[in-house]
Structure 1
Amino acid sequence: MKKNKLLEDQVAAYKGKYSAALEAMYDSQRNNFLQSIGEAPKDTMPTILREFLDRATDNESHETADYGWLEPDGTFHEVEWGEHTKWADDYMREHMTDDEWLESEFYNSGDYLTQRGWVLLHNPAQGIAIPTKDPTKRYTKAQQDFLYGYYIDRNQSDRANEIMEE
């Protein structure tokens, strides 16, 4: 009985490690690995295509637009897809003096905003938005609350929970 219990515990531990390893892989890596061991991948559609289709077939109305800039205080600025750099340029020119603009050292206006705690909600493939922030900064509570609601509203509870755990 003790031997069976020990074996069951070992199997459970290996299953946990196996699941964790699969979760850590990119979709293409996971699919290749599963095929190499004779298992059928669960979803062979690339993430980028799946997200585009999820957004394209979403007929629900949402409280907020899909893309834009999120201030540290939680204020969301709707921006059309592909216009986030122009919007950031316009915002900075409106809110900075000419001297501040000329003295600023930044690669682009988006970098300037993210360095000040802003979050960009965008997706190059026009899928569900991906939050992009300065990696050295944490989300503010207001940003976490906004993003949680944003993803819950789009039936993305896993993403919503990840935001709250960060």
Structure 2
Amino acid sequence: MELILKEDVIGLGFKNDIVNVKSGYGRNYLIPQGKAVIASPSAKKILAENLKQQAHKLAALKAAAEEKAAALEGVALTIAAKVSATGQLYGSVTNMTVAEELAKLGKEVDRKIIVLKDIKKVGDYVAVVRFHKEVSAEIPVKVVAEGAPAEEVAAPAVEEAPAQEAEAPVAE
């Protein structure tokens, strides 16, 4: 079933997108909730005309999203979490955790626009914040053991590199 979205639907698309969904989802949820209309030829013509008239408004929304993305440029998060001896987290780091850490830095971001797989181990990850369908910002997220000093967390990464260099001459 082809539909035109009347508002942003997380995981499906953005306002004025034409999307294909299963007929039950469209007929039983999207259309009754007012989130979409059937994409008939006349509805597509109306959409095209509306997009022409709203081009400057859409450009302003994109510019605002680019400003928000620029504000997050250079931001890197370090999240301390309780960790077992094997490096496995007790629980996980989610988009809600990332949103809370950004709020502590004074950057208010809705958790629903943060795309991140649940993190269950210590390490480096990337969170993507989607402000607009064409504008997104990547935030590096480092998960460390709670209570461990930063030097101890960085030290194993430094020790691994010389060990790999030492193995290379032996292999020759």
Relative to the length of structure 1, the TM-score reads 0.26
Bigger Rg, structure 1 or 2: 2
Relative to the length of structure 2, the TM-score reads 0.25
- Which structure: greater strand fraction? 2
- Which structure: greater helix fraction? 1
User: Relative contact order (C-alpha < 8 Å, sep 6+): which is higher?
Assistant: 1
